[in-house]
Amino acid sequence: MKAIAVYPAGRRVELIDHPEPSFESPSEVKLRMLEVGICGTDKEIVAFEYGTPPAGFDYLIIGHESAGEVVEAGPESGLKPGDLVVPSVRRPCSHPECIACPAERQDFCYSGEFTERGIKQHHGYMAEYVVEDARFLNRVAAPLRPYAVLVEPLTIAEKAIEQVWDVQNRLPWKRPQAAAGNLGAGHQAIVLGAGPVGLLGAMALRVAGFDVCVYSRHTEGDGRTEIVRAIGAEFVDAQQVAVEEMVSRFGHTLDLVYEAVGASSLAFEFLKALGPNGVFIFTGVPGRKAPVSVDTDHLMREMVLKNQLVFGTVNAPRSSFEAAIRDIGVFAEKWPEALSRIITNRIPMDRALEPLSGTVHGIKNVVAIA
Ligand code: BGC
C-alpha cells in the first residue's frame, strides 16, 4: 500500500510502498484512511527536526490528525465495517512507575516513554490502511465525515477547557448568566493565533459561552478574519494593533488567554494583560530561537497578587476526543461555512509533499487518501 514516510537519517521524505497491515487481536480493526491533516508538528518532522521511526525501521510513516473508515472489525472491537472513526495519537508507556498511562491518561505520561502514532516510534496514519485497537478509536457520526479530520486538532482546546473548569473550581467563577454547558458566559477570552488550533479553540470557547477575541496577523484572502467574525468573535489584526495597546485595552478584564502561536515573546507580553484570577494556557511548542528578555519581577508580582494560573497542555485523552466530536457537531450546525473554510485544500497523497514542505498555503491542508 502507499504511505508517506520520512527517513530522518537519509534526510528524505517519500511516497513509499509499505506492507498492508492485518489485524492480530479480536479487539483490533482495519481502517481505510480517508483524510489526514497536516500540522506544524508534521512540518517539523519532514524538516528532520522532530519525530522518531519505530524500532527496526529507518523510516516513520507520518500523519496523526486523521479520519478513517472501518473495513474489517475484530469480534471484540465493538465496531463494524463502514463505521467512521478518529484515532487518538498517544500510546501508553510501560514504565512501572508511571501512574498516568495505566489510568489511560498517557496524555499526562510521567516517564516520557510514551509513543505517538506518526510522531514518536510508531507509524502514523498517512497510509492507505492502518490497524488499530478499538480502545484508541473514537466513533464519529457519518454526517460529520467532512469535518472528522478536524477532531484531533480540536482535542487540544477541549483538553485545555476541561482543565479550565477544573482549576477555576477554586473560585466562585460562575456568573449569574451562565447555564449548564456555558460556564464561560460573562468571561472574556483571547486567542493568540488564527491557525487551526487557534480557530478551533475560538469556536470551542464561544460554544462554552466566552466572549472571544482572536489576535493574529491578518492574511489576505484565506478567510481567517471571516471565520472569526462568523462565530461571533472579534478579530484584531496584530499588524494594526500592538500588544501594549491590547494590554491596556483589556485592563483587568481578561479572564483567559489561549495561546496557539508558539511564539514565546508574544505570549509573555500577553501575560501582562491577564486579569485577576485569570488563566493563561500555552498550547504552542516554540522552536529554539534566541533568548527573549522578560520582566520576571513584574510577571511574578502580578501572578501572585492576582491569583493567576499558567499551564501548558499537550495531547488529549478519550474524554477530549468525545468532547471534540460533540463540539464539531455543534459547530457544523451553528457555523457550517466557517467550519468548512478551516480546511483550505484537500490534496491527493501523491502530492502530499507540497503542503508538507510549505509550498501550498492555507489554514488547514488535508491529504485526501480515499
Ligand atoms: C499532537 C499531539 C502530540 C504533540 C507532541 C501535536 O501535534 O497533536 O497529539 O502529543 O504534537 O508530539
Q: Which of 339, 284, 280, 321 is nearest to 158 (CA)?
A: 321
Ligand 1 site: residues with CB under 6 angstroms?
39, 41, 64, 89-90, 116, 119, 314-315
- Choose among 317, 209, 191, 318: nearest CA to 258: 191
Does residue 339 sit in helix, strand or coil?
helix
Q: How far is the CA of 174 from the centre of ligand 1 (A)?
A: 31
CA-156 nearest atom, ligand 1: 8
Q: Are 41 and 50 in contact (CB under 8 A)?
A: yes
Q: What does the chain come to in residues?
A: 370
Strands of 12-17's sheet in order across:
12-17, 2-7, 60-61
Of all atoms in ligand 1, which is nearest to the CA of residue 155? 8
Instruction: Give 41 Cα–ligand 1 centroid separation in angstroms.
Output: 7
- pTM, full prediction: 0.97
Residue nearest to atom 12 of ligand 1 (CA): 119
Ligand 1 atom at shortest distance from the alpha carbon of 41: 7
From atom 9 of ligand 1, which residue's Cα is the shortest distance away? 315
Q: Tens digits of per-residue pLDDT, 341-357?
A: 999 999 999 999 999 99
Strand, coil or helix: what is 349?
A: helix
Strand stretches in 230-359, DSSP E = 234-237, 254-259, 274-282, 309-312, 343-348
Spell 243-252 as b/e; 16+ CB within 10 A means b: beebbeebee
Shortest-distance Cα residue to atom 11 of ligand 1: 41
CB 235 within 8 A of CB 225: yes
261 is written with which cell numbers?
Answer: 502561536
Give the ligand 1 atom nearest the CA of 65.
8
Q: Using CA atoms, how far apart are residues 90 and 316, in angstroms rounded to an integer?
A: 8
Q: Which atom of ligand 1 is nearest to the CA of 107?
A: 10
Q: Give the whole-angstrom CA distance, residue 112 versus residue 327.
A: 30
Cα 250 to middle of ligand 1, angstroms: 31
Per-residue pLDDT of the chain (370 residues; tens, 9 = 90+): 999 999 999 999 999 999 999 999 999 999 999 999 999 999 999 999 999 999 999 999 999 999 999 999 999 999 999 999 999 999 999 999 999 999 999 999 999 999 999 999 999 999 999 999 999 999 999 999 999 999 999 999 999 999 999 999 999 999 999 998 899 999 999 999 999 999 999 999 999 999 999 999 988 888 999 999 999 999 999 999 999 999 899 877 899 999 999 989 999 999 999 999 999 999 999 987 888 899 999 999 999 999 999 999 999 999 999 999 999 999 999 999 999 999 999 999 999 999 999 888 899 999 999 9
Bridge-partner residues for 72, per DSSP? 30
- The residues, any chain, with a CB within 8 Å of residue 160's CB and separated by 6 or more, are 201, 258, 281, 283, 313
